[in-house]
């Protein structure tokens, strides 16, 4: 559930619905802080301070991500979008940084911008006249401290958090091995994640609900660490294969004029796959997924032909036969629509050679585990 809110420097900015929760929570804590200092404050003032603080944090997270994205663009990396969600933001940079130095700079500018924003807000607070309304004082103080907290949290050497990326880049420069560097940085990340969970649990036992946040963030970080490491490892493993090697074999294709009933009995029931390519005159013209068949009422399945129920090839992303397995893996990570499928085309004439599905990705990884000499 994403809401597109606009484009900055050609980068799409998306808000996940869970972002509303950050605004609400930060707002709640800011208002709570206000009410503790001034018990007589009016409800309208509390609401106003809450909403403004929530929005400032959201804008601050956006600036943090924009800093990463703009510097990444400077280094020639493509940035597709920035997504803001419950635990902060993520810049979807389409490639890994090419050198340790660029990774260090791209990673450092995010926390640096948070620290600068936080510092400026606090400097404002201490240089402005004392007669400022209390709501403004609280807002400057609260959002200043929050930004500084955000900056320091992101400097934790816990991969894939910014600090962890910096650690990985330093190890990468020393050992000249990206996977080994990622492995060590991920171990540190896991250690920090469990540390947060344990600390959150102790806080929860001693002080109640606030500790839950640390437990949630720790669990989230732990998942991210595992996933990011696996992605780097898989990309590296597949980088010596090309897309052509990963195409589904044997090629099982359904003729376009088969009825859905026949397709079910002769293909779906028999081979227990979720989708098949559809052919006409020896050429792949579409994909039929089990969900496409489910949409047609049972009594019509003996008349309906596959060619009418299938999805068009244009609905799926494609890749060239000589692109590397690393590229295939990246396309899969970016794919949002289901079923996750890649069309493999011949580079010379765009002729469609076949498909790569998620199961083919898994079997290619298994192939590399069994035949490491062929994947080096
Ligand atoms: Zn960051």
CA of 84 to the centre of ligand 1 (A): 12
CA of 162 to the centre of ligand 1 (A): 5
CA of 93 to the centre of ligand 1 (A): 12
CA of 181 to the centre of ligand 1 (A): 19
* pLDDT value of position 236: 84
CA of 208 to the centre of ligand 1 (A): 29
CA of 222 to the centre of ligand 1 (A): 17
CA of 146 to the centre of ligand 1 (A): 14
* pLDDT value of position 362: 85
* pLDDT value of position 131: 77
CA of 185 to the centre of ligand 1 (A): 16
Among 113, 123, 114, 189, which residue's Cα sits nearest to residue 150?
114
CA of 255 to the centre of ligand 1 (A): 50
Among 326, 324, 354, which residue's Cα sits nearest to residue 342?
354
CATH 3.40.50.300, applies to 243-375: no
Residue ranges of domains in the chain: 2-155, 174-238, 243-375
Helices (H), 75-130: 100-127
- Please state the φ and ψ torsions of residue 369, each to the nearest 5 degrees: -65, -35
The two structure tokens encoding residue 324: 């590397």
Q: In this structure, are residues 156 and 185 in contact, taking their beta carbons and an 8 Å threshold? A: no
Handedness of CA 265, 267, 271, 273 (dihedral sign): negative
CA of 263 to the centre of ligand 1 (A): 49
* pLDDT value of position 117: 95
- Cα within 13 Å of Cα(175), Cβ side: 15
CA of 62 to the centre of ligand 1 (A): 10
- Please state the φ and ψ torsions of residue 111, each to the nearest 5 degrees: -60, -35
* pLDDT value of position 32: 86
Give 366's contacts (C-beta < 8 A, 6+ positions apart). Answer: none
In this prediction, the residues of the chain whose per-residue pLDDT falls under 70 are 87
CA of 366 to the centre of ligand 1 (A): 34
C-alpha 145/C-alpha 283 separation (Å) is 62
**H or E stretch including 51?**
helix 43-74
- Please state the φ and ψ torsions of residue 255, each to the nearest 5 degrees: -60, 140
C-alpha 115/C-alpha 149 separation (Å) is 8
Query: pLDDT tens digits for 351-374?
Result: 888 888 888 888 888 888 888 887
């Amino acid at each position: 559930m994403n809401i597109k809110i606009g484009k900055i420097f050609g980068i799409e900015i998306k808000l996940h619905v869970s972002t509303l929760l950050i605004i609400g929570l930060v707002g709640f804590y800011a208002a709570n802080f206000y009410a503790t200092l001034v018990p007589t404050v009016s409800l309208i003032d509390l609401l106003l301070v809450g909403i403004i603080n929530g929005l400032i944090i959201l804008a601050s997270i956006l600036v943090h991500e924009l800093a990463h994205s703009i510097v990444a663009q400077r280094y020639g990396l493509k940035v597709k979008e920035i997504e803001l969600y419950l635990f902060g933001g993520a810049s979807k940079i389409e490639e890994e940084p090419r050198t340790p130095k660029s990774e260090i700079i791209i990673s450092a500018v995010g926390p640096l911008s948070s620290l600068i924003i936080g510092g400026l807000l606090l400097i404002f607070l201490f240089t402005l006249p004392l007669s400022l309304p209390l709501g403004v004082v609280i807002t400057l103080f609260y959002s200043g401290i929050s930004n500084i907290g955000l900056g320091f949290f992101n400097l934790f050497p816990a991969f894939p958090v910014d600090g962890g990326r910096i650690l990985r880049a330093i190890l990468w420069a020393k050992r000249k091995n990206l996977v080994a560097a990622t492995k060590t940085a991920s171990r540190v990340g896991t250690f920090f994640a469990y540390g947060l969970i344990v600390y959150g649990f102790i806080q929860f036992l001693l002080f109640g609900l606030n500790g839950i946040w640390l437990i949630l963030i720790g669990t989230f970080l732990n998942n991210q660490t595992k996933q990011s490491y696996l992605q780097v490892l898989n990309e590296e493993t597949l980088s010596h294969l090309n897309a052509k090697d990963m195409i589904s074999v044997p090629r099982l294709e359904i003729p376009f004029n088969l009825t859905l009933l026949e397709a079910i009995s002769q293909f779906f029931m028999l081979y227990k796959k979720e989708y098949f390519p559809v052919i006409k005159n020896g050429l792949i013209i579409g994909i039929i997924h089990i969900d496409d068949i489910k949409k047609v009422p049972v009594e019509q399945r003996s008349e309906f032909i596959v060619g009418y129920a299938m999805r068009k090839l244009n609905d799926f992303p494609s890749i060239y036969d000589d692109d590397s397995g690393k590229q295939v893996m990246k396309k899969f990570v970016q794919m949002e629509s289901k079923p996750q499928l890649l069309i493999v085309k011949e580079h010379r004439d765009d002729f469609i050679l076949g498909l790569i599905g998620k199961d083919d990705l898994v079997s290619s990884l298994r192939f590399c585990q069994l035949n490491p000499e062929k994947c080096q």
